[in-house]
Each structure stands twice: as structure tokens, then as C-alpha cells.
Chain A
């Protein structure tokens, strides 16, 4: 039986693959790497690209949008990113989150907040109840 190596491909959202294979081929930042059993411990960044797993002469492919490859003699772990990451994309996302916060803070006058409306509704209901009670006591 051929020597095998255990591979886990995980992302922050789910586990993508777990099993024994004969070799792993991935596109690392410095070039393509092929990992066979008893590879020296290695830690490297992965580029967006495909990860190929060789098993019984067949090949399985996964596309990942980047991540980190960790190799230990009998275990390979790929920490896959869930989305394409680039500094400017992240920057834009950060600005968006900031803008959303500012909008929520400034929007108080323009659009009544749901929570605020709830408070006003509760107040109005309390007033109505008080009026009703006053009416009842007057009747008796």
C-alpha cells in the first residue's frame, strides 16, 4: 500500500475536506508545492488557486481563494480563506462599516427608530389605560 498523508481543508465557516491522500499539490506564494508523506514541517501562505489531492491514481480538486498551508510529517492542514482578500478590498469594507455606524447615529431625526417607536407606543398605551381606568371609577 502506498504511503498516505492525512489532509484537512478547513475554512472559518466549515470543514471542506478531511481524509488520507498520497500527495497534496497547492499553489504557495513562492510557487507550486507538492507535499508527499514525511515532508519536513512547513508553513506557508497560499495564493488563490486550486489544491489538488492525489488518491489512488485519481485527482480531486478544490478551489481556494488563498489561505495558509501547514505541513507536519503526517498531517497537512490547509486553512482556507472564505473570500478573496486584498488590502484595498478590506479597506473598503472597513470604510463601509464606519459609514454605516455614522449613518445610524445621524439618522435619528430623519427616520424614527423602531426601538424609539416602540417606547412611544408603550407610553401611549399606558396613557390610554390610565384614561380608561379614570372613566371607570367615575361611572361607579
Chain B
């Protein structure tokens, strides 16, 4: 059995680990709340832009933007994979990557090749070790990413789509369901299907366009895709923090259990030592 001193140092070291994990848990909780607020703040823009696109697509059926034209997946498929920059957030990233690998495999079974755009350090590290074609990446976005940090990598994928290099584009990220649950989500960005306009939008009226409908629609579509990707990134951050919070809570709980067990072992060792000492004294006294 380990001596009393050894057990005491072990308990002390576990206690300091527990302090770190519970601090990380609290930090993650407050960051999660902020990320959730940011998530809510991005919604009006995307909703509005989608509304206008629906109306435009409906009002101008003769003009089909390449993003809106249906295309068959013939050769290549693009994926924008959103991950976190840091680890210690449970199985969040790995679960997502597993799903992506699954997708990639099912695509390559059909004879399709895959282009990856990695957002976040983890995705970049993961896909650079795989035999897939990583065409763009952006990392170190921090807790409050900005849209203009994403524009470059999104443009790479949009250009590839426009030139016919890829036939479709997907966005993959962790959807924030609630604090306990995050689900991997696949969204097809291109070709886009804006859907039918709502009732009030579909009346027979049209905008006055300046300069003209096509140019405005072009602008809107690019911004729409950027805003969807941005939303995905923000939502992934909320998921990351939630997942980290749970992971750190579990770690703190486990540390508590370990400390309890060790404390018991320590008490037993101490008691045994005292008993032994007393019996030695008694034996000594009896001998005299």
C-alpha cells in the first residue's frame, strides 16, 4: 500500500486539476451564452435576404442564376467543414469528422471526388492528413468571428462552382440543439433552392430595380451563402462551448470521485500505521 505522504500529494494534484476543469467549465458556460446571443443576432439578416431572393427568383423566372440552376453531381463535390480551433470539447469535432468521412466514402463509391474547405484548426489538421483535396482553409477565428474573415475561403468554393470544377457545395457544422445536444448538420448550399415565396410576397407586384434585377440578384446570392456559412460558424462556436462545458463538468465530477476514493485509502493507511505503532509500544512494554 502506498504511504500516507504519497497519497496526500496525489490528492493535492487531483484537486488542482479539478480547479482547472471547473474554471474551464464556468468560462465555457459564459462564452456559450454570448455565442447564443450572437446566433440570434445573425438570424434577421439571413431571413430577410432569403425573402428577397425568393421574391426575385419568383418574379424573374426567365433569368436563372447559375447558383439556382439544378446540376447533376458528375465529378466533384465541395464540402465546407466547420470545426473548432481548440480541443477539450468532448467528441464534438471527431463525431463530425466521422460523419464527413462517411459522406466522402459514399460519394467516392459513386465515383465522385471531393474538395474540402476547412474552417477551424481541428478540421485543417484532420483533413491535411487525409488523402483528400483541401483547397482552402481559415483558422483562428476566435470567439467572435467576422464575416470578412470567411469571405476568402467561401469565394474559393464559389469560384470552383462557377467554373464547373465542383458540381455541388455542402456546409457541415454542429447544430446547437440545446446545451446537452449538438447534432452534425449537412446543408446543401449550391445549387440553392430558395423555395416558394410566402403569401404576402407573391402578389403580383415587382420592385423597381437599380441598376437591374440580375446584378442585384447576383449580389444577394453571394451574400446569402456567406451569411449561411457565417451562421454555421457561429452556431458551431455555441456547440463547441456547450460541449466543452459538459466535458469539463464530467471531468470535475470524476476528479471529485477520485479524491473521495483516495481520501478513503489515505484514512485506512493512517489508521493502520497508528494501530501498528500502538501494538509495537504495547509489545515493547510487555517485554520490559
Binding site for B on A (CB under 8 A): 8, 10-15, 28-30, 40-45, 68, 70-71, 77, 79, 81-83, 85, 90-98, 100-101, 104-105, 107-108, 113-116
A42 touches B208 (CB 8 A): yes
Contact A83:B48 (CB < 8 A) given known A30-B211, A42-B207, A115-B126: no
A57 CB, min distance to chain B CBs, angstroms:
28
Select one of A68, A79, A97 contacting B138, CB under 8 A. A97
Complex CA gap A98/B147 in Å reads 17
Select one of A79, A92, A94, A96 contacting B45, CB under 8 A. A79
B147 touches A93 (CB 8 A): no
Give chain B residues whose Cβ lies under 8 Å from the Cβ of A90.
151-152, 155
Contact A43:B48 (CB < 8 A) given known A94-B155, A104-B124: no
Complex CA gap A135/B186 in Å reads 50
- 18 pairs of residues in contact across A and B, judged by CB atoms under 8 Å: A14-B42, A15-B44, A30-B211, A45-B216, A79-B220, A79-B223, A90-B152, A91-B155, A94-B159, A95-B152, A97-B136, A97-B137, A98-B136, A98-B156, A100-B139, A101-B134, A101-B135, A104-B134
A82 touches B146 (CB 8 A): yes
Give chain B residues whose Cβ lies under 8 Å from the Cβ of A96.
152
A97 touches B147 (CB 8 A): no
> For residues 176 through 219 of chain B, which have their beta carbon under 8 Å from a beta carbon of chain A?
205-211, 213, 215-216, 219
B216 touches A10 (CB 8 A): no
Complex CA gap A71/B211 in Å reads 15
**What's the tally of chain B residues with a CB closer than 8 Å to chain A?**
49
Complex CA gap A82/B148 in Å reads 7
> For residues 52 through 108 of chain B, which have their beta carbon under 8 Å from a beta carbon of chain A?
52, 56
Report whether over half of chain B's contact residues are helix, strand or loop; otherwise say mixed. Answer: helix
A55 CB, min distance to chain B CBs, angstroms:
21
> For residues 204 through 242 of chain B, which have their beta carbon under 8 Å from a beta carbon of chain A?
205-211, 213, 215-216, 219-220, 223, 226-227, 230
A139 CB, min distance to chain B CBs, angstroms:
16
- State whether the Cβ of B118 lies closer than 8 Å to any Cβ in chain A: yes
Complex CA gap A75/B148 in Å reads 28
Complex CA gap A77/B42 in Å reads 15
Report whether over half of chain A's contact residues are helix, strand or loop; otherwise say mixed. Answer: mixed
A95 CB, min distance to chain B CBs, angstroms:
7
Q: Which of B122, B206, B207, B227 has the most CB of A within 10 A?
A: B207
Closest to A66 in B: B219
B207 touches A41 (CB 8 A): yes
Binding site for A on B (CB under 8 A): 38, 41-42, 44-46, 48-49, 52, 56, 117-118, 122, 124-126, 128-129, 134-139, 146-148, 151-153, 155-156, 159, 205-211, 213, 215-216, 219-220, 223, 226-227, 230
Select one of A29, A71, A97, A114 contacting B153, CB under 8 A. A97
A129 CB, min distance to chain B CBs, angstroms:
18
B129 touches A29 (CB 8 A): no
B48 touches A77 (CB 8 A): yes
Closest to A77 in B: B48
A8 touches B210 (CB 8 A): no
Give chain B residues whose Cβ lies under 8 Å from the Cβ of A70.
48, 52, 207
Closest to A101 in B: B137
Give chain A residues whose Cβ lies under 8 Å from the Cβ of B147.
11-13, 82-83
B205 touches A15 (CB 8 A): no
Contact A43:B44 (CB < 8 A) given known A12-B226, A90-B151, A101-B135: no
B59 CB, min distance to chain A CBs, angstroms:
10
Complex CA gap A90/B118 in Å reads 18
Complex CA gap A42/B42 in Å reads 24
A113 touches B129 (CB 8 A): yes
Complex CA gap A123/B219 in Å reads 51
Contact A41:B118 (CB < 8 A) given known A15-B44, A113-B125: no
